[in-house]
């Protein structure tokens, strides 16, 4: 009995219809790129120091020395969170005493910024940090804002698949695009940090849901050969394109509210796609809406200038085309034996720590030496060759070795940053970008690797919980960036060490390249330290039935 791919094989693989779907769905991912990383500019922290009110009646000399000095990037700047007690220095100013000459500044009492802060406007005209003074005792709110966005991403990952299964791929795709765009627009009118952050959580839910549903819709409509390219290059590359647009928008729009307004416009431009992107025929068939599925396939055939068969779905085959009921599985099945539990725990660590490295480097790019906008653009640009490299390596080399290799490369160069002299800022930036290249390459391979390790009965669940582990990593990542406020090198040491560690652990995974996909838990390969001299069923079949299936979810 034929499956859906066999039934629709007459459409071909890369006709006008497939090209239209490929590029429109990929284009719908572009807003995800800048919405997912917009916080790096929306919540940027400019240089700042304590405000001294005009009522203090300080001389220009005392106004310039109203705060203790601290070193920042080799420069002496006023302390961000402390100033000398105004009552004391006002008296000195009134008496005509000079700071440093007549008065020993080190002996003066200090106080907090009781009158607020003055923020530098050299780079940013305004951010949410300057709007609501998220500095000093409130500086914890900035990484929390980013983490809560990724909490929204985690929640969206839970519901997006279920909603699209219930209501259809197309409806949920455009509904989640509307959520992402609409709530981003509402953020413009935020009157407090709390309001901004709550709305940002909802934006995160829409952002990931849009991404996942577009991914699913593309893989269900496109043929096998195009599906692989769409899954590994299409959505990833267009996400990177959106990411590259972010610093361009931010460079020309320095006010956070106007920047956010500009970032919502591309989402509105996606509305006309409703009339060009069809529903998934596979989903329609699963809902027994066969006539609608046939109408979409007939339209695709006409677009490809291919004669439409008189009968697309034989009435006798319709029942067979419905998805078969799968055996019930539970999350505990992923820990059923010592071997399976080890693979699962290692997979969770691999996804989480790779995610920490990816998002940590992405969120920290504006904090590098040099131009913040250029550094963010380079961080986005480096992803495109990383995706292409990952795609090429997956075609020809064993999975665990290439993933381990790029992780050790990415983590290793991050550890080298601490050895670079401060005057060689360009070299530090180059090492950061090389680290981002390695970690991004590994990140894009994880879906393929995990899907090949687990059997059919638990594959969706395995990819689901490991993907959730990556969301946990993204929630933690902003706090790695936060450590950079205290020590510029510390985030790179931590991220580099963890990335190298997980790269070494990856070498102990079973190899999936060229192996038939396991169908049952009993057929799963064993991790290196669980191996015995006895051959597994997979190793016996390796030469008889070589097969590589790249599956993405």
If you write DSSP's letter for every residue of 349-415 in order, what string do you get?
Answer: HHHHHHHHHHHHHHHHGGGSSS-HHHHHHHHHHTHHHHHHHHHHHHHHS-HHHHHHHHHHHHHHHHH
Q: Is residue 267's pLDDT more than 80?
A: yes
Q: Is residue 548's pLDDT more than 70?
A: no
Q: Is residue 278's pLDDT more than 80?
A: yes
What pLDDT, on the 0 to 100 scale, is given for residue 208? Answer: 77
Q: Is residue 553's pLDDT more than 70?
A: no
Q: Which residues pair with 196 in a beta bridge?
A: none
The least confident of 206-210, 230-234, 546-550 is 546-550
The least confident of 191-205, 348-362, 476-490 is 476-490
How would residue 541 be classed by pLDDT, with cut points 50, 70 and 90?
very low
What pLDDT, on the 0 to 100 scale, is given for residue 49? Answer: 87
Q: How far apart are CA 56 and CA 87, in angstroms?
A: 8
What pLDDT, on the 0 to 100 scale, is given for residue 539? Answer: 43
What pLDDT, on the 0 to 100 scale, is given for residue 254? Answer: 92
What pLDDT, on the 0 to 100 scale, is given for residue 42? Answer: 92
**Domain 1-44+137-325 - what CATH class?**
mainly alpha
Q: Which residues pair with 173 in a beta bridge?
A: none
User: Greater confidence, 216 or 239?
Assistant: 239
Q: Is residue 195's pLDDT more than 70?
A: yes
The least confident of 2-16, 316-330, 347-361, 376-390 is 316-330
Percent residues over pLDDT 90 in the chain: 22
Domain span(s) for CATH 1.20.1250.20 in the chain = 1-44+137-325, 326-533+545-553
Beta carbons of 329 and 485 less than 8 angstroms apart = no
Q: Is residue 205's pLDDT more than 80?
A: yes
Q: Is residue 184's pLDDT more than 70?
A: yes
Q: Which range scores top for mean pLDDT: 104-113, 194-203, 267-276, 320-329? A: 194-203
If you average pLDDT over every residue of the chain, what do you get? Answer: 81
Structure letter (DSSP) for residue 307: P
Question: Residue range 422-446: average pLDDT?
Answer: 88
User: Greater confidence, 325 or 495?
Assistant: 495
Percent residues over pLDDT 70 in the chain: 86
Q: Which residues pair with 75 in a beta bridge?
A: 72
Cα angle 314, 320, 321; round to 5: 80
How would residue 546 be classed by pLDDT, with cut points 50, 70 and 90?
very low
User: Greater confidence, 541 or 227?
Assistant: 227
How would residue 545 be classed by pLDDT, with cut points 50, 70 and 90?
very low
First-last CA distance in the chain: 26
Name the strand (E) or helix (H) holding 75.
strand 75-78
Question: Residue range 277-287: average pLDDT?
Answer: 81
Q: How far apart are CA 531 and CA 187, in angstroms?
A: 54
Q: Is residue 170's pLDDT more than 80?
A: yes
Beta carbons of 468 and 338 less than 8 angstroms apart = no
Structure letter (DSSP) for residue 230: I
What pLDDT, on the 0 to 100 scale, is given for residue 60? Answer: 81
Architecture of domain 326-533+545-553: Up-down Bundle (1.20)
The number of angstroms, rounded, from the C-alpha of 209 to the middle of its chain's C-alpha atoms is: 13
Q: How far apart are CA 384 and CA 381, in angstroms?
A: 6
Nearest Cα residue to 286 out of 321, 242, 251, 317:
321
Look up residue 473 and give its two tokens: 């990593």
Q: Which range scores top for mean pLDDT: 9-18, 321-330, 465-474? A: 465-474
User: Greater confidence, 94 or 500?
Assistant: 500
Sign for the pseudo-dihedral over CA of 205, 207, 212, 218: positive
């Amino acid at each position: 009995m034929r499956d859906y791919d066999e039934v629709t094989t007459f459409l071909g693989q890369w006709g006008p219809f497939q090209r239209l779907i490929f590029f429109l769905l990929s284009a719908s991912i572009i807003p995800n790129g800048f919405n997912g990383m917009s916080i790096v500019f929306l919540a940027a922290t400019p240089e700042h120091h304590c405000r001294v009110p005009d009522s203090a009646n300080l001389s220009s000399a005392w106004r310039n020395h109203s705060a203790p000095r601290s070193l920042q990037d080799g420069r002496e700047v006023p302390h961000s969170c402390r100033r000398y007690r105004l009552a004391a220095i006002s008296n000195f100013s009134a008496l005509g005493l000079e700071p440093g000459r007549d008065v020993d500044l080190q002996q003066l009492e200090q106080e907090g910024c009781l009158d607020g802060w003055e923020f530098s406007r050299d780079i940013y005209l305004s951010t949410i940090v300057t709007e609501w003074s998220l500095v000093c005792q409130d500086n914890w709110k900035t990484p929390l804002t980013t983490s809560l966005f990724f909490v929204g991403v985690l929640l969206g990952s839970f519901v997006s698949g279920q909603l699209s299964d219930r209501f259809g791929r197309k409806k949920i795709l455009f509904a989640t695009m509307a959520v992402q765009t609409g709530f981003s627009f509402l953020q413009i009118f935020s009157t407090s940090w709390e309001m901004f952050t709550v709305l940002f959580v909802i934006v995160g839910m829409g952002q990931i849901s849009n991404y996942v549903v577009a991914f699913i819709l593309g893989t269900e409509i496109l043929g096998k050969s195009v599906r692989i390219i769409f899954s590994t290059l299409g959505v990833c590359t267009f996400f990177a394109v959106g990411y590259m647009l972010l610093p361009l928008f931010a460079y020309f729009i320095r006010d956070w509210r106007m920047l956010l307004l500009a970032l919502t416009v591309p989402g509105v431009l996606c509305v006309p796609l409703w009339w060009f992107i069809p529903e998934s025929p596979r989903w329609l068939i699963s809902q027994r809406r066969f006539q609608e599925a046939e109408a979409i396939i007939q339209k695709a055939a006409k677009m490809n200038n291919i004669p439409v068969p008189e009968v697309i779905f034989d009435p006798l085959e319709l029942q067979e085309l419905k998805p078969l009921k799968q055996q019930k599985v539970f999350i505990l099945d992923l820990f059923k034996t010592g071997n399976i539990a080890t693979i699962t725990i290692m997979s969770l660590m691999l996804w989480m720590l790779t995610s920490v490295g990816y998002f940590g480097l992405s969120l920290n790019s504006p904090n590098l030496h040099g131009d913040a906008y250029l550094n963010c653009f380079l961080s986005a640009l480096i992803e495109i060759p990383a995706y292409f490299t990952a795609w090429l390596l997956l075609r020809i080399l064993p999975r665990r070795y290439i993933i381990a290799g790029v992780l050790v490369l990415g983590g290793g160069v991050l550890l080298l940053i601490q050895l670079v002299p401060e005057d060689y800022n360009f070299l530090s930036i180059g090492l950061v970008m090389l680290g981002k290249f390695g970690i991004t390459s590994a990140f894009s391979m994880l879906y393929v690797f995990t899907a090949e390790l687990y059997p059919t009965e638990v594959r969706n669940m395995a990819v689901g919980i490991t993907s959730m582990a990556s969301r946990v990593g993204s929630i933690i990542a902003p706090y790695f960036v936060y450590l950079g406020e205290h020590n510029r090198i510390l985030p790179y040491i931590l991220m580099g060490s963890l990335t190298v560690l997980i790269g070494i652990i990856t070498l102990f995974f079973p190899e999936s390249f060229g192996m038939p996909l396991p169908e049952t838990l009993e057929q799963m390969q064993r991790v290196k330290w669980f191996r015995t001299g006895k051959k597994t069923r997979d190793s016996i079949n390796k030469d008889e039935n070589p097969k590589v299936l790249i599956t993405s979810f």
